[in-house]
Structure 1
Amino acid sequence: MESLIQSLPEDIRKHIEGREYSIDDIGKSGSKILIFDDMVLKITDKSSDDRDAVQMMRWLEGKIPAPRVISFVEDDKCAYLLMTRVRGKMSCDRYYMERPDELIPLLAKAIKMLWSIDIKDCPVMKDLDGELKKAEYRVEHGLVDVSDAEPDTFGENGRFKDPKELLSWLQDHRPSLETVLSHGDLCLPNILIDNGDISGFIDMGNCGIADKWEDIAMCYRSLKHNFDGTYGKVYQGIDPVLLFKELGIEPDMEKIDYYILLDELF
């Protein structure tokens, strides 16, 4: 583990050298996450998305509770983002899974916090054309993991025979947009709770202006799967549709379906 620290760029290493850390393996992004007492280091393959994430995190300072950038360095292969650590339990923590009456209003509050941000000078636009182009690249280069998709998405008995057919459907069925500040991956592990309230958002790499139904879809699916046993334990007595009641809106299941299907290609 010491060799890993020594291999880091100097501007990152000077902040963390000699400090204890653990490695987070909850996410599925393929990143390496080092967790220190008051900081988090995210190491990813180099891409323009990293620069977007840093730009958004700096823009969000003082607007919503989210990590603050301490240092960002890129080399020939990797991007290194050192940021402050947001305190709190993931909203998929067992405590909240067993208390849906407490959890679901907090999830709705988190979504509304994002909606409340004025986006007129937001520096990153996650337009659907751009997301579909990224999806097309992944399909063309065989980067889609069909084994990680919903059971009824692909295959002989699925809705689509393969990612290429799904991509074509997505291109032909683009929904109208209701733009807001979108987290971009609003699953339960990325919403933190402390002392009965939202303490912050993490994993802001896909944050930007996007359709409000994208975050709703990701949160709804995450809520459903965290309760239905997809990730192991089954929690009884919860209806994920209650999220819409807390949001004060009628569910647009066509848009929710669209964004869940789009996410299958990432």
Structure 2
Amino acid sequence: MGNQDTVLGRVVRGAKDWTTITAGESGARVLRSPDERSYAKVATAAGREDLAGERDRIAWLSRTGIGGPAVLDWSSDDDGACLVMTAVPGIPANLLDVEKLSAVWPHLAEMVRDVHELSPDDCPFRRDLAAMMDRARDVVAKNLVATELLPVELQDLPVQDVLERLESAYGERLADERVETVVCHGDLCLPNVMVDPETARVTGFVGVGRLGLADPYADIALLLASARETWPDDDSARGADAVFATRYGASLDAGRRRFYQWLDPLTRYA
């Protein structure tokens, strides 16, 4: 972590007092300031380009009126890069119990709709299916799939079989994307949704490093799958799906939902 500490120290005063929260993809670290008003994400030289992309996406989203962090500072050199951003108030939605998530759920569906209704002509970032499938093929070829993220019904299958199932539906899903492409969060799971549990309102979205134009089911499938870890049974999950569909304003397409739920884990390195 020596180089990362060097980069952090150049940007953050009193960096030794910041608390490491997590280690992200590509070896990035996330730290929280002592007053909990700011976060810093520090990447190695290998992750510098990805972090710059996240910086640009945060800056873009902050201009749309959708809640999220704002960029406070940035530094990049041969050792790596450091992004400092504001904290988003509230707690991650995955920390809510069933009762509180149920209260927030209708507003969350509306907030997802608001993101998807942003003008795609104004969004310079892409997360199109062709690129996602190329990444999945690469992850599978390198045998680096995070298999624990796969749906339970797929975890006993060889990952090559999962990829082949996706390939068989690829043409149909490309056609869907051509008909409906929206601004997507790109990693819309409950830990990336910040909530005020007292008001049952979403305060904003974090983790927007994958934000870009895509089929809306790239978000919808991941969010509904993430929420299933909170609902106590299948009946509750089906009820929550129905509430989401009503408040989002669209019927749920089972085929598109299943495709993106299967695809997302194949795009993540173990």
Q: Is TM-score (shorter-chain normalized) higher than 0.5?
A: yes
Following TM superposition, by how much is the alpha carbon of 1:103 offset from its aligned partner in structure 2, in angstroms?
Answer: 1.7
Following TM superposition, by how much is the alpha carbon of 1:236 offset from its aligned partner in structure 2, in angstroms?
Answer: 9.4
Residues 8-65 of structure 1 show CA distances to partners (whole Å, capped at 9, x for unaligned) of: 326x634342573333249788642111221111234534433322222122222111
Residues 98-145 of structure 1 show CA distances to partners (whole Å, capped at 9, x for unaligned) of: 234412112112202202311203111111111111111111112112
**What is the TM-score when the length of structure 1 is the normalising length?**
0.83
The equivalent of 1:7 in structure 2 is 5
* Percent identical residues: 25
SS at match of 2:247: helix
Number of paired residues? 252
The equivalent of 2:20 in structure 1 is 23
SS at match of 1:120: helix
SS at match of 1:152: helix
Q: Which amino acid aligns with 1:210?
A: A
The equivalent of 2:163 in structure 1 is 167
The equivalent of 2:52 in structure 1 is 51
CA contact (8 A) 1:44 1:78 kept: yes
The 1:98/1:52 distance shift into structure 2, 3 A limit, reads same
Q: Report the RMSD for the aligned CA atoms in angstroms.
A: 2.8
The equivalent of 1:39 in structure 2 is 38
Residues 159-203 of structure 1 show CA distances to partners (whole Å, capped at 9, x for unaligned) of: xx3222222322231211121110011111111122432211100
CA contact (8 A) 2:11 2:74 kept: no
Q: Which amino acid aligns with 1:168?
A: E
Out of 164-173 and 174-183, give the one that drifted further: 164-173
Q: Which amino acid aligns with 1:7?
A: D
Out of 78-87 and 27-36, give the one that drifted further: 27-36
CA contact (8 A) 1:190 1:201 kept: yes
Query: Going by fraction, where is helix more abundant, 1 or 2?
Result: 2
**What is the TM-score when the length of structure 2 is the normalising length?**
0.82
SS at match of 1:186: coil
Q: Distance in 2 between matches of 1:26 and 1:6?
A: 12
The 1:186/1:51 distance shift into structure 2, 3 A limit, reads same
| Aligned residue runs from structure 1 range 226-241, under 5 A | 226-228=230-232, 239-241=239-241
The equivalent of 1:253 in structure 2 is 254
Following TM superposition, by how much is the alpha carbon of 1:91 offset from its aligned partner in structure 2, in angstroms?
Answer: 1.8
| Aligned residue runs from structure 1 range 177-188, under 5 A | 177=177, 178-188=180-190
SS at match of 1:134: helix
Q: Which runs of 5+ in 1 are unaligned?
A: 156-160, 229-233
Q: Larger relative CO (CA 8 A, sep 6+): 1 or 2?
A: 2
Q: Distance in 2 between matches of 1:26 and 1:151?
A: 25
